[in-house]
Copies of this chain bind each other. A is one copy, B any other.
Amino acid sequence: MKFRIARSALVDAVSQVSKAVSTRTTIPILTGIKVTADEEGILFTGSNADLTIQVKVPLREEDKEIVVLERMGNTVLPGRIIGELVRKLPEDEVEWEVDERRVATIRSGQAQFQLNAMDPEEYPRLPELVEDRKFSLPADLLQTMIRQTVFAVSTSEARGVLMGVLWQLEGGKLRLVATDSHRLSRREAEVEAPEDLTLTNVIVPGKSLSEVGKILADRSGWVDIVVSDNQLLIKTTHLKFFTRLLSGNYPDTDRVIPKGGKTELVLSTKELLESVDRASLISRDGRDNVIKWVVSDDGRVEVSSAAQDVGSVTEEVVARVSGEPMSISFNARYMIEALRAVDSDEIRILLTGPMTPFSIRPADSDDSLHLIVPIRTR
């Protein structure tokens, strides 16, 4: 293989696929980045067992020449070194060549690197997905849906499907759900989907989705989603994510979401977040990171926490309260993470009792929901 490529395009492609490259060397070939040069351009692939990211650098873009292809071919080069190397190249043009002895030469200005390449035949092949189950949504909407749910997945290997985010589709509405059984986050949105396409139990690993979210953060345009039995493909211009699906049945979470409520609060997202953040300064030193709310029916919420040996904190937040007065205790971290995921200025909290899950929604929308299970305190 032999080509010349613009350094900025090379740096972008390598830094994106690097997000999936394995750092563990249990499968040595996956510590490499695969590079394929053909008449369509240069294709970069990075993969770990769960997630594969592919970026294509086309020969031309908007009449600008990006790649000059001299000889087609395949190679796999060490990912960590390539990732740093491309950023440090001195000139805007990079010459890239791999000879028959599998020695790669990367030249830019006066600098010339020679790297030992790996055998591209060893690199795992990507599945060919049948595109019969496919839908589309804007890239920024998908990024938001991931951001508003993925933090709630379980990080414990023992929890199986709870390490993933559940994707459900029905009647053109996509729903993402994540829970670690102490809290739950759910986000719904209309998407472009065939009317008869229904998905009930597609479970995508949380770690993979976090990486997808990072890369989509600065993307506009639409993404296509293709679902197969054990893979999900997310694709947009010049960019593809293949992620393995988790097997198993995701629990029915509809049952745990309270229908009515005894006490409703409407309050400022920012004020509440800051007060919970302050209260958790003290409670974090305790075992459970517990903070307590006392809701009065005259429109005040007293936020407090105490930790033996350290001290205590208390403050009041103004709220519009309807229903009964109530006291409730919960893990401050779950509340902080939920509030950070909310985009609206005001939120609506529905309490059903001191020991039953309570819900947090944007005041102006039902698309997004966070649920937290309270903690029993003395």
Q: Which residues of A contact B (CB under 8 A)?
A: 78, 81, 84-85, 88-90, 103-104, 109-116, 274-275, 277-278, 281-282, 285, 309-317
Q: How many Å lie between the Cα of A319 and that of B306 in the bound state?
A: 66
CB-CB under 8 A from A275, the residues of chain B are 110-111
Closest partner residue, chain B, to A304 (CB atom) = B112
How many monomers of this chain does the complex have?
Answer: 2
Say yes or no: B278 contacts A311, CB within 8 Å: no
Closest partner residue, chain B, to A312 (CB atom) = B114
Say yes or no: B277 contacts A315, CB within 8 Å: no
Q: How many Å lie between the Cα of A104 and that of B111 in the bound state?
A: 62
Closest partner residue, chain B, to A107 (CB atom) = B315
Say yes or no: A315 contacts B78, CB within 8 Å: no
Say yes or no: A274 contacts B316, CB within 8 Å: no
Closest partner residue, chain B, to A109 (CB atom) = B315
CB-CB under 8 A from A309, the residues of chain B are 116
Closest partner residue, chain B, to A275 (CB atom) = B111
Closest partner residue, chain B, to A271 (CB atom) = B90
- Can you sample 16 A-B contacts with CB below 8 Å? A78-B310, A81-B281, A81-B310, A88-B274, A88-B277, A90-B274, A90-B278, A111-B275, A111-B278, A111-B314, A113-B282, A113-B311, A113-B313, A115-B310, A115-B311, A116-B311
Partner of A315, one of B110, B116, B282, B285: B110
Say yes or no: B114 contacts A311, CB within 8 Å: yes
Say yes or no: A111 contacts B315, CB within 8 Å: yes
Closest 8 CB pairs of A and B: A115-B311, A111-B315, A110-B315, A113-B313, A114-B311, A114-B312, A110-B316, A88-B278
